[in-house]
């Protein structure tokens, strides 16, 4: 009898789980909460765009779930990315801001990567991103030429973060002399350290700098040294691109690999294994949210860049393209980063 009861209880649990899995998206998401994880502390570009998506996307998902943001900083996004890949629920209730270097880190064999970027579920891209390296106005380093002539102490947020590996690559392939202190968990803390004189500068998304530090730009308190993108931003026509600084064709190709994260930009991903109908609902809701008149009015008012947006399938194609980089270029990029 006892065995019979246990068997019946187990069968009932399986039936409930199967029933929940078979729910249509509207039934499943009704009264649910979707958690959107950001791999940094509050503040900065990832947090800005994560909260933007959370604010407007939920009402366009069938069932109108609430979307809340949870910050999970650590190891330059690796802690969050590994958790989303390996431990988070795979039922469509967990999303995340995708680290723009998520595929590059796997390609280069970064220590601590415990995910397969090809297996993440891709929701969509809010905007491409141009990152910049800058120094505080008190620093003697005011240009890349200065950075090639003197040691410049820079803050960063972990070995896997672009705030660190971009500078290491420039040291190897462009002859700069950056001394990198990867001790700051977020860009906000790097900026505080810069203002205290602990470091001379840092790196940040240009769109976020315009929003968070517009006064610095107006008052010329920062020197923009280099931009990381595949094409010069209209705001920065005189600031060199990372890939322009390579001394040979192979060096330029390796530097361009690092800059390919620009195309990934500020994107949203989710766990592997989401049921297809829920995935389609999330991808469709994302696209509709990015065209929501309320979102567009808000971003225009706050000077937040949105678009060109990409679909989940287009993002997946970018990841696949990155992972097909020739081994010779990968080897040079790894050496440039100091691996």
Candidates 202, 258, 208; CA nearest to 229 is 258
Positive or negative: CA dihedral 153, 154, 155, 158: negative
Question: Mean pLDDT over residues 225-240, rounded?
Answer: 92
β partners of residue 98: 267
Q: Is 131-261 in the same CATH topology as 2-128+264-324? A: yes
d(CA 330, CA 327): 5
Question: Which tokens in the block code for residue 72?
Answer: 């999970």
> How does strand 152-155 pair with strand 178-181?
parallel
The mean pLDDT of the chain is 90
Q: pLDDT tens digits, residue range 272-311?
A: 999 999 999 999 999 999 999 999 999 999 888 899 899 9
Average pLDDT over residues 121-145: 95
Is it the case that residue 21 has pLDDT exceeding 70?
no
Q: Each residue of 57-79: pLDDT tens digit?
A: 999 999 999 999 999 998 889 99
Taking the alpha carbons of 79, 172, 188, 233 in that order, is the dihedral positive or negative?
Answer: negative
Distance CA 242, CA 221 (A): 22
Contact indicator for 300, 130 with CB cutoff of 8 Å: no
* Residue 204 clears pLDDT 60, i.e. is over it: yes
Asked if residues 311 and 283 have their Cβ atoms less than 8 Å apart, the reply is yes
Count other C-beta atoms under 10 Å from residue 27's C-beta.
Answer: 12
Q: Residue ranges of the alpha helices (H) in 150-275?
A: 162-174, 187-196, 206-212, 214-218, 249-259, 261-264
Q: Is the peptide bond before 42 cis (omega within 30 degrees of 0)?
A: no
Q: How many CB atoms lie within 10 A of CB 198?
A: 14
pLDDT at 207 over 50: yes
Under CATH, to which class is 131-261 assigned? Answer: alpha beta
pLDDT at 45: 84
List the domain boundaries for the chain.
2-128+264-324, 131-261
152: pLDDT strictly greater than 90: yes
Residues β-bridged to residue 134? 202, 224
Task: Give the separation between CA 103 and CA 314, rounded to whole angstroms.
Answer: 14
3-state secondary structure of 251: helix
Burial of 298 (0-12, 13-18, 19+ CB in 10 A): middle
Q: Retrieve residue 48's tokens.
A: 């800005």
pLDDT of residue 22: 64
Per-residue model confidence as pLDDT tens digits over 92-131 = 999 999 998 899 999 989 889 999 999 999 999 999 888 9
CB 76 within 8 A of CB 161: yes
Residues β-bridged to residue 204: 132
pLDDT at res. 7: 46
pTM for the full predicted model: 0.74
Please say whether the beta carbons of 116 and 85 come within 8 A. yes
Cα–Cα distance measured from residue 88 to residue 130, given in angstroms and rounded to the nearest whole number: 30
CATH code for 2-128+264-324?
Answer: 3.40.190.150
Q: Most confidently modeled of 162-176, 260-274, 275-289, 321-335?
A: 275-289
- Alpha-carbon distance of 227 to 233, in angstroms, equals 8
Range 44-62 average pLDDT: 95
- Give residues with Cβ within 8 angstroms of 223, minimum separation 6: 134, 135, 136, 137, 139, 141, 142, 143, 201
Contact predicate 99/159, CB 8 Å:
no
Rounded Cα distance between 279 and 274, Å, is 6
Residue 181: Cβ-neighbour burial (10 angstroms; 0-12, 13-18, 19+): middle
- Tens digit of each residue's pLDDT (9 = 90 or more) over 1-18: 544 444 444 444 444 444
């Amino acid at each position: 009898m006892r065995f019979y009861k246990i068997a019946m209880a187990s069968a009932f649990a399986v039936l409930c789980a199967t029933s929940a899995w078979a729910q249509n998206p509207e039934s499943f998401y009704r009264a649910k909460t979707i958690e959107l994880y950001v791999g940094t502390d509050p503040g900065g570009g990832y947090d800005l765009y994560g909260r933007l998506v959370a604010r407007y996307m939920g009402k366009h998902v069938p069932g109108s779930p609430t979307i809340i943001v949870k910050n999970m900083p650590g190891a330059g996004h690796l802690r969050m990315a590994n958790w989303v890949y390996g431990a988070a629920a795979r039922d469509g209730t967990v999303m995340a801001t995708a680290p723009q270097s998520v595929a590059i880190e796997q390609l280069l064999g970064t220590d601590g990567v415990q995910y397969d970027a090809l297996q993440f579920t891709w929701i969509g891209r809010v905007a491409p991103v141009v990152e910049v390296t800058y120094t505080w106005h008190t620093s003697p380093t005011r240009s890349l030429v200065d950075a090639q002539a003197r040691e410049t102490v820079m803050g960063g947020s972990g070995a896997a973060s672009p705030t660190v590996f971009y500078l290491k690559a420039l040291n190897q392939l462009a002859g700069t002399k950056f001394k990198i202190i990867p001790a700051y968990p977020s860009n906000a803390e790097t900026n505080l350290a810069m203002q205290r004189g602990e470091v001379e500068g840092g790196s940040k998304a240009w769109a976020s700098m315009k929003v968070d530090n517009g006064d610095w730009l107006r008052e010329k308190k920062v020197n923009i040294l280099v931009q990381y993108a595949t094409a010069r931003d209209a705001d920065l026509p005189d600031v060199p691109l990372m890939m322009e600084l390579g001394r040979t064709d192979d060096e330029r190709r390796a530097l361009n690999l690092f800059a390919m994260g620009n195309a990934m930009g500020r994107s949203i991903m989710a766990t592997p294994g989401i049921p297809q109908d829920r995935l389609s609902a999330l991808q469709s809701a994302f696209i509709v949210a990015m065209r929501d008149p309320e979102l567009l009015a808000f971003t225009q008012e706050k000077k937040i860049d949105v678009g060109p947006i990409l679909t989940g399938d287009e993002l997946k194609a970018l990841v696949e393209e990155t992972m097909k980089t020739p081994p010779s270029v990968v080897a040079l990029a790894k050496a440039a980063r100091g691996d």
